[in-house]
Amino acid sequence: MILVPKITLKAARVNAGLTQKEAAEKIGISYQTLSEYEKDESRIKLAMIKKMCNVYGMPIDCIFFK
């Protein structure tokens, strides 16, 4: 079994080379909402997490949730 290091949503966005504003536009939310999600990941619905992972080009298994 290969262990894959997990990263935060913010790190996933940064690794994708996107600003909050760019990522928010691609996801379909405001950058303020994205900022809140990055601060408190517990409020995000699974469908939104999947959308973010798709935009960031990263599988959900690689994201660390607090």
* pLDDT, tens digit (0-9, with 9 covering 90-100), for 19-46: 999 999 999 999 999 999 999 888 889 8
CA 12 – CA 6 distance, rounded (Å): 9
pTM equals: 0.84
Mean per-residue pLDDT, 5-9: 84
